[in-house]
Structure 1
Amino acid sequence: MTSFTFRNAQPEDLDGVLSVQAVVFPAFQESRATFSERLRLCPDGFFVVEEDGVIKGYLVSYPFQRLNPPPLDTLIGSVSPDSDAYYVHDLSLLPEMRGRGAAVAMVEAMTSVARKANFATMGLIAVGGADIFWRRFGFAPVFVEALEPRLRAYGAEAAYMERSL
Structure 2
Amino acid sequence: MTTAPDWRRMTEADLDAVVEVARVSFPDHPEDREVFAERLGLYPDGCLALGEPAQGYLVAYPWRADQIPPLNTRLGAIPADADLIYLHDLALAPEARGGGRAARAVVRLLHEVAAARWPAVALVAVNEAAPFWRKLGFQERETPAIRDKLKSYGPDARYMVRRLQRLPEED
Structure-2-length-normalised TM-score: 0.91
What does 1:29-68 correspond to in 2, within 5 Å?
A: 29-50=30-51, 53-68=52-67
Provide the C-alpha distance between the structure 1 equivalents of 2:112 and 2:73, rounded to a whole number of angstroms: 23
Cα deviation, residue 2, structure 1:
3.1
1:11-90 → structure 2 map (5 Å cutoff): 11-50=12-51, 53-90=52-89
Distance in 2, Cα, partners of 1:60 & 1:129: 19
Matches within 5 A, 1:98-113: 98-113=97-112
In 1: Cα distance, 2:107 partner to 2:43 partner: 17
The aligned runs of 1:131-146 (5 Å cut-off) are: 131-146=130-145
**1:153 lines up with 2:152 in the alignment:** yes
Report if aligned partners of 2:42, 2:77 keep a CA contact under 8 Å in 1: yes
1:71–1:150: 8 Å Cα contact kept in structure 2?
Answer: no
Deviation at 1:103, TM superposition (A): 1.0
Q: TM-score, normalised by structure 1?
A: 0.94
Give the distance between the partners of 1:73 and 1:31, measured in 2 at CA. 6
Instruction: Structure 1 unaligned segments of length 5 or more: list them.
Output: none
Q: Hey, what's the Cα distance between the residues in 1 that align with 2:111 and 2:61?
A: 12
Which residue does the alignment assign to 1:123? Answer: 122
Deviation at 1:122, TM superposition (A): 1.0
Shift of 1:77: 0.8
> Take 1:150 and 1:38, find their aligned partners in 2: how far apart are those partners?
21
Among all aligned residue pairs of Structure 1 and Structure 2, give the percentage whose two residues are the same amino acid. Answer: 39
Shift of 1:96: 2.1
Alpha-carbon displacement from aligned partner over 1:95-114 (angstroms, at most 9, x marks no partner): 22222232122112211221
Are the aligned partners of 2:126 and 2:158 in contact in 1 as well (CA < 8 Å)? yes
Match of 1:163, SS state, is strand
Offset, 1:135: 0.7
Which consecutive aligned stretches of 4+ in structure 1 deviate over 3 angstroms post-superposition?
none
Greater strand share, 1 or 2? 1
